[in-house]
């Protein structure tokens, strides 16, 4: 809205030019989302309780988790509402990728909501049928990916504005320039990234503040990467792809970071609310889609190393048990393994946050170490 006000009245009212600056709008988006989450957080938690949207703890989980049963879930609604408000207020809505990011987030949020509703209200064990959930996830991912490649075309490849590349090129961290042109394989690759990232964050959401804390580190880092990727001078200096309009993604990501921080206020131990699949699916898919848009798909493996480790621990555990009849970890996902080793929940969460910060620093260092 404020960007539209600037575009419409900026020439006549000079003071409105302040809304042209992405940095200001990004900061305001973050503060706005955080403020709204704080503002209606308690009311939303009470509303979720009144509707009996409550978490059911797995029977085979750590004994310490028994007390979590009955905690309100679907807290992802708090974040998606705040994110939508901040994006509509501060985002450049003439940028189609901003609308795509928001639309994708809402779609995955609704998928997660449906799953949570079946588990907490309908009392259907496991929620939505795995096959149905997977098919809907693929449908959303295919739609989002198709729209992105349809509206993207070829980006500006002027040498003075960053390195030459094609939209289907693949980049590796610490390597200068693209290492491979995926061509038509770029579409299925992007779909895998979207689905993989959404479910990896979903698996990470098992301890108070774990997913929300690690995701906010990743989204804040992505916001910085988006800003430099969309700034010609920065892209040329860092010798990275220049992506026109990508700096606007930082407004969206800052809003998401603010919403996450506001949610973390209520989600830290002992949690007053859980995000549920309503939150985790859209958070993970947003990270994946942003990585695709910024040509940072492989870098996401480093930046989201916590999520990758959580997902791998589940795959290794299941594979090992089916093939050998033995488990590698005491329990999967990985955070439960450390709990059963004797670590307190707070220790696991804080140490995972620390690792997330280290991975974020490594990810940012790839901008110059090439």
Tens-level pLDDT at each residue, the chain (370 residues): 766 666 666 666 666 777 778 999 999 999 999 999 999 999 999 999 888 887 766 665 666 666 677 789 999 999 999 999 999 999 999 999 999 999 999 999 999 999 999 988 887 877 888 899 999 999 999 999 999 998 886 544 444 466 778 888 899 998 888 888 898 899 999 999 999 999 999 999 999 999 999 999 999 999 999 999 999 999 888 888 899 899 999 999 999 999 999 999 999 999 999 999 999 999 999 999 999 999 999 999 999 999 999 999 999 999 998 989 889 999 989 999 999 999 999 999 999 999 999 999 999 999 988 7
Q: CB atoms < 10 A from the CB of 151, how many? A: 11
Q: Is residue 325 part of a domain?
A: no
Element (H, E) at 170: strand 169-170
Across-strand partners of 54? 72
Tell me which residue range forms the domain holding 232: 2-56+75-299
Q: Is residue 329 part of a domain?
A: no
Q: Is residue 358 part of a domain?
A: no
Q: Is residue 310 part of a domain?
A: no
- 197 vs 104: CA distance, rounded Å: 13
Decide: 140 and 211 in contact? Cβ < 8 Å.
Answer: no
Q: Is residue 337 part of a domain?
A: no
Q: Does the annotation flag 277 for ligand binding?
A: yes
Count how many domains the chain has. Answer: 1
Q: Does the annotation flag 205 for ligand binding?
A: no
Give the three-state DSSP class for 274: coil
Q: Is the pTM of this model over 0.75?
A: yes
Helix 276-293 and helix 130-152, axial crossing angle in degrees, nearest 10 = 30
Q: Is residue 100 part of a domain?
A: yes
Q: Is residue 7 part of a domain?
A: yes
Q: Is residue 37 part of a domain?
A: yes
């Amino acid at each position: 809205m404020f960007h539209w006000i600037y575009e419409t009245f900026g020439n006549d009212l000079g003071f409105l030019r302040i809304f042209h600056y992405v940095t200001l709008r990004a900061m305001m988006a973050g503060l706005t989302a955080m403020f709204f989450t704080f503002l209606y957080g308690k009311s939303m938690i009470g509303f979720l309780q009144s509707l009996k949207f409550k978490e059911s703890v797995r029977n085979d989980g750590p004994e310490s988790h028994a007390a979590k049963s009955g905690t309100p879930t679907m807290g992802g609604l708090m974040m998606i509402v705040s994110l939508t408000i901040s994006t509509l207020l501060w985002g450049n809505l003439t940028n189609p990728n901003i609308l795509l990011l928001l639309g994708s987030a809402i779609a995955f949020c609704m998928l997660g909501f449906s799953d949570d509703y079946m588990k907490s209200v309908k009392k259907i064990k496991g929620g939505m049928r795995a096959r149905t959930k997977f098919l809907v996830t693929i449908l959303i991912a295919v739609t989002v990916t198709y729209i992105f490649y349809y509206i993207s075309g070829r980006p500006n490849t002027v040498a003075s504005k960053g390195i030459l590349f094609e939209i289907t090129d693949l980049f590796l961290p610490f390597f200068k320039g693209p290492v491979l042109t995926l061509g038509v394989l770029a579409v299925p690759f992007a779909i895998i990234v979207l689905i993989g990232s959404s479910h990896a964050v979903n698996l990470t959401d098992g301890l108070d503040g774990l997913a929300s804390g690690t995701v906010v580190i990743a989204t804040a880092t992505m916001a910085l990467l988006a800003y430099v990727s969309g700034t010609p001078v920065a892209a040329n200096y860092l010798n990275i792809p220049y992506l026109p309009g990508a700096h606007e993604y930082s407004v969206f990501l800052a809003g998401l970071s603010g919403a996450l921080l506001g949610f973390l206020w209520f989600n830290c131990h002992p949690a007053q609310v859980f995000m549920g699949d309503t939150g985790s699916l859209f958070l993970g898919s947003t990270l994946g889609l942003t990585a695709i848009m910024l040509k940072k798909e492989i870098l996401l493996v480093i930046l989201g190393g916590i999520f990758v480790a959580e997902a791998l621990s589940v795959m290794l555990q299941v594979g090992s048990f089916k093939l050998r009849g033995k488990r590698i970890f005491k329990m999967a996902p990985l955070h439960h393994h450390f709990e059963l080793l004797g670590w307190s929940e707070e220790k696991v969460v804080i140490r995972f946050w620390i690792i997330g910060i280290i991975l974020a620093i490594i990810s940012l260092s790839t901008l110059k170490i090439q």
